[in-house]
Amino acid sequence: MASKSMSIIVTKGSLDWAYPPFILATTAAAMGLDVTMFFTFYGLPLLLKKLDLQLSPLGNPAMKMPMAGMHMGMPNIASMIPGVDAAASKMMTNLMKKKGVASIEDLRAAAVESGVRLIACQMTMDLFEYTLKDMIEGPELGGAATYIEVATKSDINLFI
Amino acid sequence: MADQTLDAKGLNCPLPILRAKKALATLKPGNTLEVIATDPGSVKDFQAFCRTTGNELVESTTEGNVFRFILRRTE
């Protein structure tokens, strides 16, 4: 039986949004699927050698963190203060560690190890002035047509 | 007795599955892997994992907050 396949377009690179594509890619690979991830726009920096992932509570009313037995959101006026994004990112990272959630670095390494095909969007590389030297070992360069070819042959195609 | 045991306690989704897949790959076909997890989502996830990969879920038991699975590598 030919194995099933999945492709994911990865468009977001914040700490929170980095999770769904890497969780699904690594799990699908573990379940025997051929997986391709296409990194474009703000998803592209997820391939950088050194990750410094941040998130922002600004304009994110659904982000409510467990605190002192309650769930606390943050008003936009507070989220705007310099340093708040960094503090919220640190808080999320600590919470994830405490709850046994893998780091993006670990999930990314697992994706590479399990043979997930990584495609870096050539146009985004040019736009944001990156080269393959800035990236981890493994990604290849490709454009929309490269992705579409993969998508036409995949059982599952996701845009995240 | 399983041929190998994987302690996945304290690990959250998808780590129990990823670690189990890695451990299964080191087993001979027919041999078994015991996975001990605390992630409640792992109960359904190991069922789905085994249905999709063809590995056999020999046992799935719950003792309090600890979930124990026996997987048999089929191919």
**Nearest CA-CA distance, residue A102 and chain B, Å:** 7
Write the pLDDT tens digit of every residue in A29-85: 999 999 999 999 999 999 999 999 999 999 999 999 998 899 999 999 999 999 999
Domain that holds residue B19: 4-72
pLDDT at A133 (0 to 100): 95
Angstrom distance (rounded) from CA A140 to CA A120: 6
Q: How far does the CA of residue A46 sit from the closest CA of chain B (Å)?
A: 19
Q: Would you state the pLDDT for residue A1?
A: 54
* Interface check B41 vs A, CB under 8 A: no
pLDDT of residue A2 exceeding 90, the answer is no
Which of the listed CATH numbers 3.40.1210.10, 1.20.1420.30, 3.40.1260.10, 3.20.20.80 matches domain A5-53+104-159?
3.40.1260.10
CB nearest B18 (choices: A26, A99, A101): A26
Q: Which of B7, B12, B13, B26 is catalytic?
A: B13
Strand blocks (E) in A97-151 = 117-121, 140-142
The pLDDT value recorded for residue A10 is 98
Which sequence spans correspond to the domains of chain A? 5-53+104-159
* Beta-ladder partners of A8: A37, A158
Instruction: Flag whether residue B39 sits within 8 Å of chain A, measured between CB atoms.
Output: yes
pLDDT digits (tens, 9 = 90+) for A79-136: 999 999 999 999 999 999 999 999 999 999 999 999 999 999 999 999 999 999 999 9
State pTM to two decimals.
Answer: 0.92
Q: What's the average model confidence in pLDDT over A5-10?
A: 98
Interface of B with A in 53-72 (CB under 8 A): 53
CA distance A10 to A158: 9
Nearest to A88 by CA among A19, A157, A15, A137: A15
CATH classification of the domain holding B46: 3.30.110.40
Top residue of B6, B11, B19, B21 to mutate, by most chain A CBs within 10 Å, is B21
* Tally of domains within chain B: 1
Rounded Cα gap, residues A85 and A89, in angstroms: 6
- Give the pLDDT of residue B75: 76
